[in-house]
Structure 1
Amino acid sequence: MTKDMPQPLIERLAENAEQVAFGWRREAWQAAMYDDDATLALLDRLGENVDRETTRTVVLEELSAGRVTPAFVAAMIWGHGMTGYGPARVRWVLTGVRGRTSITAPIRSDVLEKLTDGAKVARESGPVEGFRYMNNSGKILHLGGSFFTKWLYFTTAVDGIADPNAAPILDAQVAGWLREHNVESLRIDKTPAYENYLRLLVDWGQRSGRAPAQVEAAIFHLATGR
C-alpha cells in the first residue's frame, strides 16, 4: 500500500535545495581523539563548516586509505552537528567504555573491523543487509541505528550524495517527522522497520524523480533544519 507524501516534503523535493553547511567544535573533537594521529591530522585539515558532500568525500577518502577511525569520526561530526556531546559519545563507541574513563581507554580494533565490515556488507548486499549486520552480528556497543545509519550512508554514497544505492539515514528525528505527519511509526532499532522505510523512500523517490537518499535528505532537513 502506497503512502501519500506530506505536502512539506513535496515542496522541499521540488526545490532541489542542497544542505547548508554548518560549523563544528574542532577543539572538542581534538580533545576526544587526542591519541589517534590519523584522526588528528584529519581534524586539522577539515574546513570550518561541513555538509553532506564534504563529509562524503572525506569519509570515502579515509576509508579507501584504510583509515577507519578518521572516516568514522568525520561521519559522526556531521551526524552529531552542534549538539555538544558528539565527541564524548564517539569516544564511547570507539573504546566500548561509557563515561569519563573512556578518555584513557584505547580504541578497539574489533570496533574498527565491525565498522569496516558494515560498510562492505551495505555496499555489496544493499542497505537493508548493512542495517541487519550492524544491528545484529556486527553490533557495536553505544552505537545505535540513529548513528550507524549515518555511517552506512556516507560509506555507500560512492557516486554522490544522491547515489541511488546509498543507505538512507534513519534516526529519531526522521522517524519522528514521519510519525508526526501520520505516515508511519518506525522503530529505529529493527531491521524490518528499516526495510519498510527504504521501501517508502523508493516509492516516493520514483514519484518525485529523486533517489531514496534525496528523499531522506529532504525529510532530515524538515526534521532538523540541517
Structure 2
Amino acid sequence: MTDLHPVPPELLLAHERWTARDRPAQPAPHWFPHRWTARLPEHADFIDTLPNPISREAVASQFVDAGDSDEAALRAFLAAMIWGHGRNGYGAYRTAAVLAASDHAGEWLSEALQTTRAAGGPAGFEYLAKHRLKGLGVAFATKYLYFCVTPESKVTPAPILDRIVRHWLATHTDWQPRLDWRIADYQRYCDLVVHWSDQLTEPAGTVEYLMFASGLGTASQWTDSREHATRPPLNSNADANAVLAALDEAADAFEALTEDVTPEDAEDFERGLRALKRIVVARSHCGPQTN
C-alpha cells in the first residue's frame, strides 16, 4: 500500500458523532416487493421471504450459503440489489435488465463471490471488470461484492464505492476515484479504507458508511435523521452533490419509462435535466458530476 492519506478530520468528526450516538446501525430502507416480483416472477418465492424494511444484516444472512451454487449467488445478488435500491422505483427494472442481458449472470456472480472470498475485494472487482454484466455499474457491483466478504474472512474487504463516496473523497482528500471499472482505482480505494479502519479500529464497512452518510448532506432512506438534526449547516458542495445524485436517480427512473414516451418527450426531459444540473453547479461552485 502506498500514498495512503491519514484519516481526514471530517472522517474523525463523523466517527466521533456516530460513537456519541451509541453507534447506531444504518437505517434499513423500505422497498416495494410487488415491483420486484412483477419484474422477476421467476424469483417471486424468494423475494417474498425477504424482510421489509431490509437491513445490511438481513442481506448478509443471504450470503452465508451463497457460495453453494449459481442460483444461491443469484438470490444473494437480488437481496443486495433490493437493499441497495431501497425505495427507488426503478431498481427492479434495472436489476431485471442486468440479469436478462446475460446467459452467464448466475455463473459470473458465483465466480465473483468465490474469487472475492478467496482473494479479497480487489480480486472480485477485477473478475467482474473482465466479466461485465451489462447494465451493472461499479456502485451496485461493489454493493454485491461488499457482502461476499464474511466477517471471518482474512482477505481484503470489498467496501462499496458509489457516487456519494467518490465525491466525499474528492472533497476531503486530493484524490477522486473513477467509477468506470478502473481496477487500480478500486485497489487504492480498498487500501485507503483498510488503512482508515485500522486507525479508527472499525470495520471497513463502518468507514464506508460514515463517508456515505456524511457525504449525502441531507437525510435519506439510508441515513439516520437524528444525525442531521444536530449537525451544523451543510456546505454548498455537499448539498449540491445530494441534488446532483437525485437528478441522476431521476434520469435512471426516466430510463425505465422510455418505451412509453415519444422521442420528443425524451429530448425535452434530457434538456431540462442538463439545465437543472448547470444551475446546481453554478450556484454551488462545485465541479460537475459526470457519473
TM superposition score normalised by structure 1: 0.83
1:7 — aligned with what? 9
1:157 — aligned with what? 150
Q: CA deviation at 1:116?
A: 0.5
Change in Cα spacing, 1:84 to 1:7, as seen in structure 2 (3 Å) is: farther
Partner Cα separation in structure 2 for residue 158 and residue 86 of structure 1: 27
Whichever of the two has the greater Rg, that structure is 2
Does residue 185 in structure 1 map to residue 176 in structure 2? yes
Change in Cα spacing, 1:114 to 1:166, as seen in structure 2 (3 Å) is: same
* 2:196 aligns with one of 204, 220, 223: 204
Q: Deviations over 1:109-167 (max 9, x none)?
A: 4111011101111111111111111011x21111121111111111223549xx87431
Does residue 112 in structure 1 map to residue 106 in structure 2? yes
Q: Percent identity?
A: 29
Partner Cα separation in structure 2 for residue 80 and residue 120 of structure 1: 24
* 1:32 aligns with one of 36, 39, 47: 39
1:48 — aligned with what? 52
Q: CA deviation at 1:174?
A: 1.1
Does residue 76 in structure 1 map to residue 69 in structure 2? no
Partner Cα separation in structure 1 for residue 51 and residue 174 of structure 2: 37
Partner Cα separation in structure 1 for residue 103 and residue 134 of structure 2: 13
* Equivalent residues of 1:153, 1:167 under 8 A apart: yes
Does residue 142 in structure 1 map to residue 147 in structure 2? no
Structure 1 gap ranges (5+): 97-107
1:171 — aligned with what? 162
Letter in 1 for 2:35: A
Change in Cα spacing, 1:62 to 1:42, as seen in structure 2 (3 Å) is: farther
Partner Cα separation in structure 2 for residue 183 and residue 6 of structure 1: 11
* Equivalent residues of 1:76, 1:86 under 8 A apart: yes
Does residue 194 in structure 1 map to residue 186 in structure 2? yes
* 1:130 aligns with one of 109, 124, 129: 124
Partner Cα separation in structure 1 for residue 8 and residue 99 of structure 2: 38
Partner Cα separation in structure 2 for residue 195 and residue 88 of structure 1: 30
Change in Cα spacing, 1:59 to 1:109, as seen in structure 2 (3 Å) is: farther
* Number of corresponding residues: 209
Runs of 4+ in structure 1 over 4 Å off: none
Letter in 1 for 2:110: T
Partner Cα separation in structure 2 for residue 220 and residue 5 of structure 1: 15
Does residue 221 in structure 1 map to residue 233 in structure 2? no
* 1:89 aligns with one of 63, 87, 94: 94
Q: CA deviation at 1:172?
A: 1.6
Higher RCO (Cα < 8 Å, 6 or more apart): 1
Letter in 2 for 1:59: F
Task: Give SS of 2:63's match.
Answer: helix
Partner Cα separation in structure 2 for residue 33 and residue 20 of structure 1: 26
Change in Cα spacing, 1:218 to 1:157, as seen in structure 2 (3 Å) is: farther
Q: CA deviation at 1:10?
A: 1.6
Structure 2 gap ranges (5+): 223-291
Q: CA deviation at 1:58?
A: 2.1
